[in-house]
Structure 1
């Protein structure tokens, strides 16, 4: 029997990644809450920094603006960076709302 997660979305790394700087709390079954800093996000997953001690196939649940709670599987790790794949693809209209929610509102900035 193969180890690790049986991912439902096959290697779709061609998804456009949107750079972000978003701290989130990931819920891990064994480790509890872990702080992750998302570096980029796409409709199929995200890259995070500050990931240590997790192995391929481990799951975390994060909460994203406009998306809500979503589970992701660790696909690769290199040092403290790791790539996660969502357990489901985020719909494009929901992804657009997420990106809009993460953009700074330039109209409310004071000069």
Structure 2
């Protein structure tokens, strides 16, 4: 039997990721406030790049523009990076509005 993340919807990790530079404060039920630095985001979740004090499966609540408060759980962690999956998939129209509000840094976009 293979290990790994138990995604609630079939392989959501293939969703388009959008680069951002967004420090947020996550609320954890026992640790209280945890600082997270989001470096990319999709309609299913986000990746952080900073030391993570959480174990796989632990939940945090963050606040995003347009979306508001949303819970996410840690799917994977590797050193100073970690991937979180949202409790639900974000609606496409709200996701687009949120991206516009975040104004992703164009210098972070890969040349295609």
TM-score by length of 2: 0.83
Distance (Å, rounded) in 2 between the aligned partners of 1:64 and 1:79: 25
SS in 1 for 2:60: strand
- Report how many aligned residue pairs link the two structures: 100
1:49–1:80 Cα contact (<8 Å) kept? yes
1:49, CA displacement in angstroms? 1.6
Give the structure 2 partner of residue 14 of structure 1.
14
Distance (Å, rounded) in 2 between the aligned partners of 1:13 and 1:7: 9
1:23–1:36 Cα contact (<8 Å) kept? yes
| Structure 1 consecutive aligned stretches of length 4 or more whose deviation exceeds 6 Å | none
Could you tell which deviates more after superposition, 92-101 or 46-55?
A: 46-55
1:103, CA displacement in angstroms? 1.1
1:9–1:88 Cα contact (<8 Å) kept? no
1:53, CA displacement in angstroms? 2.1
RMSD of aligned Cα (Å): 1.6
Answer with 1 or 2: which has the greater Rg. 1
Could you tell which deviates more after superposition, 49-58 or 19-28?
A: 49-58
SS in 1 for 2:33: strand
1:14, CA displacement in angstroms? 1.1
1:7–1:87 Cα contact (<8 Å) kept? no
Q: Residues 35-74 of structure 1: matches in 2 within 5 Å?
A: 35-74=35-74
Could you tell which deviates more after superposition, 76-85 or 95-104?
A: 95-104
Give the structure 2 partner of residue 90 of structure 1.
90
